[in-house]
Structure 1
Amino acid sequence: MKFLKIFIVFLIINFGALGIGSWLMAEGPQGDWYLTLEKAPWTPDGWVFGAAWTTIMICFSVYMSFLYLKRPTQKIIVLFAIQFILNVSWNFIFFHQKLVDIALIDIVLLTIIVTAFLFTYVKDLKAKSLFILPYLIWLCIATSLNLYILLYN
């Protein structure tokens, strides 16, 4: 029961981040600016982003729930808060402000934080650490997409 309560809290926070991020991105991927960019050949179709982020946030909520139950420390909360801010702000920086270079810095920092979660707590969570892998894999893909746009536009 304790896991379920914490899991629901993390689900609300993580899906809240997606909602805030969507709200902050103005027209986002449907806007003229984005549609006219030269995008990487491996850029997924639009529907993939929604499916990926839904899966990622469910898995990340499971991961954070296990981690918080194992180590309910201030450090975990601070890392999670930094991750939240970087995740939400990328949408604003990239889509709303069109600052592709600053967005790249943001997403690299986000990738570092998620990687730090994985490697710092793998001994504590063991196989449960697999729940953070979809997030890390997606961030690597998204970082490559951001970099491509920076280099070719």
Structure 2
Amino acid sequence: MDIWLFLLFLAATFAAGATGGLFPTGEWYKSLNKPSWTPPNWLFPVAWTSIYLLIAFAGARVAVLDGNAYAMAFWGLQIAFNTLWTPVFFGLRNMKASLPIMAGLWLAVLGATITHFQVDTLAGLAFVPYLVWVTVAAALNLAMLRLNPDQKALQLRDLDPS
């Protein structure tokens, strides 16, 4: 595997993950009703760091192989949805609008998992933890929406600092 290519994919994953720093969970998230099976807060950065390392590895392995077009397209699609979900859920506090994004993310990760397996078994395996995590995240997103029906999303005008 080309280390420079891996570092490029890793930069893409951590750029997507930077939205977590731009839109932290904060008091709003702490105040929400959550299902009993919500993962502990410490697990989120551990899981995402591991997932980002794995999918950067998968992308770098598959990028140089013949027949990688669909795998690379799904890799790009999943990182785009990944980048978008955090600002909508945590930034705008819009649990309802984040659901279709989560659905797109789940489908993109499923597509990436399948197409990476078709090109390289190790790359496909590297996507499996991500698919499991996004499945839990989607269920959590839906459960939190149901448990907090009166939560109002922020409007863009609410974000204006002036």
The 5 A counterparts of 1:1-153 are: 3-19=2-18, 21-25=19-23, 28-31=24-27, 33-71=28-66, 75-153=70-148
Write the letter of the residue equivalent to 1:89: L
Q: Which range is displaced more, 103-112 or 117-126? A: 117-126
- The separation in 1 between residues aligned to 2:10 and 2:109, in whole angstroms, is 17
- The separation in 2 between residues aligned to 1:85 and 1:129, in whole angstroms, is 19
> TM-score if structure 1 supplies the norm length?
0.87
Write the letter of the residue equivalent to 2:26: Q
CA contact (8 A) 1:24 1:91 kept: no
Instruction: Name the one with the larger helix percent.
Output: 1
Q: Return the offset for 1:124.
A: 1.6
Give the unaligned 5+ runs of structure 1: none
Write the letter of the residue equivalent to 2:61: F
Greater C-alpha radius of gyration: 2
SS at match of 1:46: coil
Give the unaligned 5+ runs of structure 2: 149-162
SS at match of 1:91: helix
- The separation in 1 between residues aligned to 2:70 and 2:124, in whole angstroms, is 17
Q: Return the offset for 1:127.
A: 3.8
Q: Return the offset for 1:141.
A: 0.8
SS at match of 1:70: coil
Q: Which has the higher contact order (CA 8 A, sep 6+)?
A: 1
Question: Residue in 1 aligned with 2:158?
Answer: none
Percent identity between matched residues is 26
Write the letter of the residue equivalent to 1:14: T
Q: Return the offset for 1:133.
A: 0.9
> What are the superposed Cα offsets for residues 74-106 of structure 1, whole Å, 9 maximum, x if unpaired?
654443332222111111100111110111111
- RMSD between aligned residues: 1.8
- The separation in 2 between residues aligned to 1:142 and 1:114, in whole angstroms, is 13
> TM-score if structure 2 supplies the norm length?
0.83
CA contact (8 A) 1:108 1:143 kept: yes
